[in-house]
Structure 1
Amino acid sequence: MRLVFVTAATGVVMVVVIFELLRRRQLREKYGALWLVVALAVLPLAFFPTLLDGFTSVLGIASGLSLFLFLSVVFLLLVSVHLSWESSRLEEETRCLSEEIALLRAEVAEFKESRERVNAP
């Protein structure tokens, strides 16, 4: 019975924290929606712990908890790969922007130099 309360409390805390992060604009909406789905998926499992047992028997898995833990690990791996992809994309974009800024600064310096030469007596 304690596991039901702990799982329910975890789901409720997750929902509150995610809404607060979204409200403060510290979490983007696309990630907030993803984590809200996760948090809301935890709540039914808290109140109905045997919810996955019928599905697990069809798959030949020992218990619903084993299936839930396996799917959680797979989900976290997918999130990790997605965030790595996003990080790589942003790193490339940052590099390109840095190069553009360097070129613009060089052009501005060259323009200032040529302008000083024209204005010199």
Structure 2
Amino acid sequence: MSQLNIFTAVVGLALLAVFFEMLRRRQLREKYAVLWIIVGIGVVVPLSIFPGALNSVAEAFGVKSGASLVLFLGIVLLLLICTHLSWEVSQLEEETRTLAEEVALIRTQLEERSVLPERDTPATEIGPKAAADDH
């Protein structure tokens, strides 16, 4: 086993350990952790255990080097992940806008019923400083 194979295996195992630790600490959601763990296992195991197989697969696809195939597939994977995350951000922005509109309508209804005092500051200025000014 060459030094590159050992290095690949060690780096792959370290990355898997980081993913599991982030999952344990709830810093990474389960669906993303599963994705990264599958990618980590799918890349590290074949590269570290069967390094010659990569060149065979590359040749089958008409690529001259296994490294070029891995680089290309990595770029495609990253583009897919960026596209998915952009879609999720768009969904969250829409949800945030809808919730902000609903809160504004509820606040207006409560102020009309005199349940809440009228406010001098717009909703965007609420924060620690604005809250301290109210007292």
Q: TM-score, normalised by structure 1?
A: 0.87
Aligned partner (choices 101, 104, 111) of residue 103 of structure 2? 101
Other structure's SS at 2:27 match: coil
What is aligned with 2:26?
A: 25
| In structure 1, distance between residues paired with 2:98 and 2:7 | 47
Give the RMSD, CA atoms, in angstroms: 1.3
Equivalent pair of 1:7/1:42 in contact (CA under 8 Å)? no
Determine which structure has the larger helix proportion and give its number: 1
Q: Deviations over 1:43-71 (max 9, x none)?
A: 22123212222221121111211111100
Show the 5 A alignment for 1:1-121: 1-44=2-45, 45-112=47-114
Q: How far has the Cα of 1:107 moved from its partner?
A: 0.6
Could you tell me the percent identity over the aligned residues? 50
| In structure 2, distance between residues paired with 1:101 and 1:35 | 37
Moved more, 41-50 or 60-69: 41-50
What is aligned with 2:123?
A: none
Q: How many residues align?
A: 113
| In structure 1, distance between residues paired with 2:18 and 2:98 | 35
Q: Which of structure 1's runs of 4+ aligned residues deviate more than 4 A?
A: none
Q: TM-score, normalised by structure 2?
A: 0.78
Return 5+ residue gaps in structure 2 as ranges.
Answer: 116-135
Which structure is higher in RCO with an 8 Å CA cutoff and minimum separation 6?
Answer: 1
